[in-house]
Amino acid sequence: MIKVIMCGHGDIACSMKNSVEMIFGKADALLPITFEKGECPADIEQKITPLISEHDEVLIVTDFFGGSPFNVSSKLALAHQNVEAITGMSLPLCLEVMSNIDDLSLSDLANYLVKVGANCVKKFNKAVILETEEDFI
């Protein structure tokens, strides 16, 4: 069973788990970790490492590429065969995690998230709608 450690600056991971649960219901697979002001990368490592040993397969989802949470999770993914690390945490991505966690292997889940992640950001294209409305005038 895959567990998902979420880690980002501040308490963003905790807030995001709460948001997921507002939409999806109970999400016990998500394990949020804070990274508070004044903490250093070693603090993140100290929080994540015990969770890795407790679980068979772990996906670490962090906030952004190049940040301390991602750097630490990459180091841990390299050191542990049962760990994959991705970055770019968002609510649509976490909802995709919850929808697919029971059906995909750890590696397939990570690859799938990168694929769907490319389409998470969308703009409401009002120009198209306004043009369409003009057609009916």
How far, in Å, CA of 35 to CA of 137, rounded? 55
Using CB under 8 A as the binding rule, whether residue 118 contacts a copy of itself is answered as yes
Nearest distance from C-beta of residue 96 to a copy of itself, angstroms: 10
| Residue 10: DSSP 8-state | B
Nearer to a copy of itself, 53 or 119 (CB): 119
Using CB under 8 A as the binding rule, whether residue 46 contacts a copy of itself is answered as no
3-state DSSP call for residue 39? coil
15-44 footprint of a copy of itself as x/- string (CB under 8 A): xx-xx--xx-------------x-------
Angle at the Cα of 28 from the Cα atoms of 21 and 65, rounded to 5 degrees: 80
Active-site residue identified among 1, 3, 9, 115: 9
On whether the CB atoms of residues 32 and 16 are closer than 8 A, the answer is yes
Q: Which amino acid is at 66?
A: G
Using CB under 8 A as the binding rule, whether residue 2 contacts a copy of itself is answered as no
- Of the residues 8, 31, 52, 57, which one makes contact with a copy of itself according to CB under 8 A: 8
Q: Closest Cα to residue 57, out of 115, 8, 108, 114?
A: 108
CA dihedral defined by 49, 50, 53, 54, rounded to 10 degrees? Answer: -140
Using CB under 8 A as the binding rule, whether residue 136 contacts a copy of itself is answered as no
Q: Which residues bind a copy of itself (CB under 8 A)?
A: 8-12, 14-16, 18-19, 22-23, 37, 63-65, 67, 70, 73-74, 77-78, 84-93, 95, 110-111, 113-114, 117-124, 126, 129-130
Which residues are catalytic, by number? 9
